[in-house]
C-alpha cells in the first residue's frame, strides 16, 4: 500500500538532492562502529533475479588492459580485514583463500553489475516523480509538497493513502496524491507513443524486458509495479534516515560521515549526477595547487571513476534536454582554468561499470571525430525555495563552468513545470571530447594495468564509493594504488577506511558549502599515493 507522509516524503526528496555530508566533519575512522553504522540489513540486491545481471562468464570479456584484482594484490587487504571478512571468505586458510579468490572476484563483479538494474528502477521512479517531458503535472518536489500541505492546512492524519492503492476516489484524496496518480497515468500513456523521447524509449524497453508492456491485464500490473517501486524507494530512504540519525546521535561527526560514506552499500547502483560536486572538486584542486601539492601543468593523465549520466535526478537533473555526462568535462574545465593541466597533453579515462555511461561517451567521441561538438546544459535551480541562497562562490562557479573547454551557446528552453531555473549551455570543442576514453572497469574488483609512466596523476570518484562497504572500498584502494603514480592524488567525497595496507594515504581535505541550506555542501578527501613506488 502506498502512503504519503509529508515529513518522510520531504526527507526523501532532500536526502537525494542535497550533498551527502553534514558540515563540518572529519574523514572517517575505520572501526566496528562505522561498519555497523552502514545502511541496510546486509542483504545484497538479488542480482540473479534481474535479466541484465552479468554472469562471471560475461565479466571475463574484459577491455584491453583490464584485469581482475589478483589474490597477490588483494592479500594484504584481506589479512587486515581478517575479523570483518564477508562470510564467504571467513574461516578459510590462506591456501584456500588463494584458490577461491578468482571465483570470488568474478562472482562479486557480476553481482555489482547486476545492481545497475535496480538503479534503473530508481531512475524510473525519478522520471515518474520529476519528469516534465511527458506530463504537464507539477514535479513532485519537496517544495511542491510543502506548498500543498500549507495550502490545505495540516489534516493531522500523518499518512494519506493514494487513490489508486487504497481505492479512495481521486477527487477525495489530496493534491499531492492526485498529482502522483496523474503523473503515473501520463507516463503510462506516453510509453505507448514515446516518439523520440530517449528517456521514455529507454524505460519502455526496460519495462518490456520485464513483461509489463504486453497488452491486457499487464496494464494494471504496470501500475502496481510503479506504485511498489515508489514504495520501495521511499522505504529505502526512510531506512537511510534512520541510519544517519543513529550515527548523529553518537555526537561524533566522523560517525555520520562514515555512515554516509557507505550509506548505499546495499542499494541499486544509480547513474545520477549533478553540477555542484564538480565545484567542490575545483576548490579542492585549487587548494592542492596553493599548497604546492600539485604543480602547474603537472596533471596529464586523469581518471574519472563513475562519471554518471544525467537522466532525471530529483531536483537537480531534468528531462528537457538530451541525456548528458558532465563530470569529465567539468573536471577538465577546472584543470585548464587553474593551469594544472595543459590542453597540449591532457588525457582523460573514464572508468565505469555502466554500459549506458560507457556507450554515451563512446558515441560522443564518434561524433567528435566528425567534428561535432558536445553541448552540455547547465540548469541551476534559482531562486532556491524557502529564500535559501547559493553561496556567491557556487554561483560564480556555475557562471564560469565550461568556459575553459568551450563556448556559451543558447540553452534549451525548459517547460514551465521544470520550475524556476537559470540556464546556461556550453558547446564543447571536439578536440576536448576526444581527450576522453571510456573503459569498462569495476574499480572494486578490477584494475587497469599501466606501465609506471602511464599511471594517473589524478583520479576522481564522487558519489561512487558510497555504494560499497569498507572491505570493498579497501579492495578498490588496492586496485587504485597500482593505477596512480607515486605522489598522485585520488579525490573523493566519501571517506575510505583507515589503516588499509595500501600506499594511498589521506593528505588532507577541503570543505565546500554550496548554499545556506543546512548540510548543503561536500567534503573532498585528498588521498595521496606514497611518493616512493614500492614496485
Ligand X SMILES: C[S@@+](CC[C@H](N)C(=O)[O-])C[C@H]1O[C@@H](n2cnc3c(N)ncnc32)[C@H](O)[C@@H]1O
What are the residues binding ligand X (CB under 6 A)? 112, 269-274, 277, 305-308, 327, 351-354, 357, 442-444, 462-464, 467
Q: How far is the CB of 312 from ligand X (least distance, A)?
A: 13
The residue (of 138 and 306) whose beta carbon lies closer to ligand X is 306
The answer for residues whose C-beta is within 8 angstroms of residue 10's C-beta and 6 or more apart is 142, 145, 146
442 closest CA partner among 68, 58, 50:
68
Strand (E) or helix (H) holding 125: helix 94-130
Q: How far is the CB of 148 from ligand X (least distance, A)?
A: 29
Listing DSSP states for 410-433 in one string gives PPPPPPGGG-SEE--EEEEPHHHH
The residue (of 25 and 441) whose beta carbon lies closer to ligand X is 441
Q: How far is the CB of 458 from ligand X (least distance, A)?
A: 14
Q: How far is the CB of 45 from ligand X (least distance, A)?
A: 13
Q: How far is the CB of 285 from ligand X (least distance, A)?
A: 15
The count of other CB atoms within 10 Å of the CB of residue 316 is 19
Residue spans of beta strands (DSSP E) within 264-392 = 301-305, 347-352, 374-377, 380-381
Q: How far is the CB of 126 from ligand X (least distance, A)?
A: 12
Q: What is the largest CA-CA distance in the chain?
A: 71
The residue (of 138 and 379) whose beta carbon lies closer to ligand X is 379
Phi and psi at residue 512, to the nearest 5°? -130, 110
The residue (of 165 and 332) whose beta carbon lies closer to ligand X is 332
The residue (of 353 and 503) whose beta carbon lies closer to ligand X is 353
Q: What does the alpha-carbon distance between residue 331 and residue 346 come to, in Å, rounded to a whole number?
A: 11
Q: How far is the CB of 468 from ligand X (least distance, A)?
A: 7
Q: What does the alpha-carbon distance between residue 146 and residue 153 come to, in Å, rounded to a whole number?
A: 10
Helix axes 142-152, 175-192, angle to 10 degrees: 140
Q: How far is the CB of 459 from ligand X (least distance, A)?
A: 11
The residue (of 5 and 56) whose beta carbon lies closer to ligand X is 56
The residue (of 180 and 526) whose beta carbon lies closer to ligand X is 526
Residue with cell 584458490: 99
The residue (of 137 and 325) whose beta carbon lies closer to ligand X is 325
The residue (of 230 and 467) whose beta carbon lies closer to ligand X is 467
Phi and psi at residue 80, to the nearest 5°? -70, -20
Beta carbons of 284 and 493 less than 8 angstroms apart: no
Pairing assessment for the beta strands 425-428 and 406-409 based on DSSP bridges: antiparallel
Q: How far is the CB of 155 from ligand X (least distance, A)?
A: 36
The residue (of 273 and 283) whose beta carbon lies closer to ligand X is 273
HEC assignment per residue over 96-121:
HHHHHHHHHHHHHHHHHHHHHHHHHH
The residue (of 377 and 462) whose beta carbon lies closer to ligand X is 462
Q: How far is the CB of 329 from ligand X (least distance, A)?
A: 12
- For the chain, counts of helices (H) and of strands (E): 17, 16
Residue nearest to ligand X (CB): 306
469 closest CA partner among 30, 23, 47, 15:
30
The answer for residues whose C-beta is within 8 angstroms of residue 385's C-beta and 6 or more apart is 141, 142, 143, 146
DSSP state of 334: H
The residue (of 45 and 307) whose beta carbon lies closer to ligand X is 307
Q: How far is the CB of 39 from ligand X (least distance, A)?
A: 15
The residue (of 163 and 328) whose beta carbon lies closer to ligand X is 328
- Any idea what the Cα angle at residue 511 is, between residues 507 and 514, rounded to 5°? 150
DSSP state of 74: H
Q: How far is the CB of 467 from ligand X (least distance, A)?
A: 5
Listing DSSP states for 359-414 in one string gives HHHHHHHHHHHTT--EEEE--EE-SPGGG--B-HHHHHHHHHTTTTTEEEEPPPPP
Q: How far is the CB of 272 from ligand X (least distance, A)?
A: 5
Beta carbons of 428 and 48 less than 8 angstroms apart: no
Amino acid at each position: 500500500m502506498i502512503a504519503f507522509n509529508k515529513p518522510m516524503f520531504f526527507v526523501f526528496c532532500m536526502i537525494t538532492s542535497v550533498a551527502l555530508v553534514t558540515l563540518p566533519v572529519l574523514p572517517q575512522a575505520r572501526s566496528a562502529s562505522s561498519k555497523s553504522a552502514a545502511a541496510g540489513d546486509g542483504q545484497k540486491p538479488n542480482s540473479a533475479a534481474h535479466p541484465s545481471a552479468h554472469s562471471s562468464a560475461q565479466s571475463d570479456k574484459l577491455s584491453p588492459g583490464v584485469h581482475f584484482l589478483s589474490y597477490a594484490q588483494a592479500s594484504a587487504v584481506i589479512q587486515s580485514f581478517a575479523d570483518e571478512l564477508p562470510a564467504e571468505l571467513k574461516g578459510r586458510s590462506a591456501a584456500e583463500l588463494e584458490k577461491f579468490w578468482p571465483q570470488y572476484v568474478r562472482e562479486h563483479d557480476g553481482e555489482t553489475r547486476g545492481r545497475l538494474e535496480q538503479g534503473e528502477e530508481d531512475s524510473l521512479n525519478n522520471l515518474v516523480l520529476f519528469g516534465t517531458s511527458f506530463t504537464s503535472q507539477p514535479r513532485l518536489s519537496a517544495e511542491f509538497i510543502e506548498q500543498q500541505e500549507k495550502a490545505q492546512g495540516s489534516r493531522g492524519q500523518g499518512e494519506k493513502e493514494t487513490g489508486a492503492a487504497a481505492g479512495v476516489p481521486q477527487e477525495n484524496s489530496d493534491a499531492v496524491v492526485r498529482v502522483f496518480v496523474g503523473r503515473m497515468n501520463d507516463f503510462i500513456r506516453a510509453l505507448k507513443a514515446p516518439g523520440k523521447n530517449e528517456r521514455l524509449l529507454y524505460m519502455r524497453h526496460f519495462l518490456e524486458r520485464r513483461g509489463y508492456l504486453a497488452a491486457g491485464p499487464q496494464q494494471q500490473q504496470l501500475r502496481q509495479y510503479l506504485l511498489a517501486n515508489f514504495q520501495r524507494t521511499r522505504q529505502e530512504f526512510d531506512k537511510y534516515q534512520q541510519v544517519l540519525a543513529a550515527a548523529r546521535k553518537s555526537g561524533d561527526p566522523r560517525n555520520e560521515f562514515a555512515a554516509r560514506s557507505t550509506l548505499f552499500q546495499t542499494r541499486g547502483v544509480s547513474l545520477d549526477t549533478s553540477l555542484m560536486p564538480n565545484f567542490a572538486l575545483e576548490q579542492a584542486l585549487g587548494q592542492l595547487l596553493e599548497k604546492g601539492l600539485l604543480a602547474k601543468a603537472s596533471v596529464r593523465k586523469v581518471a574519472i571513476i563513475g562519471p554518471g549520466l544525467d537522466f532525471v535526478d530529483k531536483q537537480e537533473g531534468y528531462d528537457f534536454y538530451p541525456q548528458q555526462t558532465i563530470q569529465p568535462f567539468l573536471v577538465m574545465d577546472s584543470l585548464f582554468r587553474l593551469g594544472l593541466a595543459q590542453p597540449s597533453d591532457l588525457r582523460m579515462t573514464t572508468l565505469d561499470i555502466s554500459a549506458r555511461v560507457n556507450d554515451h561517451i563512446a558515441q560522443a567521441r564518434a561524433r567528435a571525430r566528425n567534428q561535432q561538438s558536445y553541448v552540455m546544459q547547465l540548469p541551476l535551480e534559482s531562486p532556491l525555495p524557502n529564500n535559501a541562497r547559493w553561496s556567491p562562490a557556487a554561483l560564480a562557479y556555475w557562471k564560469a563552468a565550461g568556459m575553459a573547454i568551450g563556448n556559451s551557446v543558447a540553452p534549451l528552453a525548459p517547460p514551465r513545470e521544470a520550475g524556476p531555473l537559470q540556464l546556461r549551455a556550453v558547446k564543447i570543442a571536439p578536440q576536448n571530447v576526444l581527450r576522453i576514453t571510456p573503459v569498462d572497469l569495476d574499480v572494486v574488483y578490477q584494475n587497469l594495468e599501466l606501465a609506471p609512466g602511464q599511471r594517473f596523476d589524478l583520479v576522481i570518484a564522487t558519489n561512487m564509493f558510497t555504494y560499497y562497504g569498507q572491505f570493498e572500498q579497501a579492495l578498490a584502494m588496492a586496485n587504485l594504488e597500482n593505477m596512480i603514480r607515486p605522489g598522485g592524488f585520488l579525490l573523493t567525497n566519501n571517506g575510505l577506511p583507515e589503516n588499509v595496507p595500501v600506499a594511498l594515504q589521506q593528505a588532507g581535505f577541503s570543505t565546500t558549502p554550496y548554499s545556506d541550506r543546512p548540510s548543503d555542501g561536500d567534503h573532498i578527501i585528498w588521498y595521496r599515493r606514497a611518493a616512493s613506488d614500492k614496485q
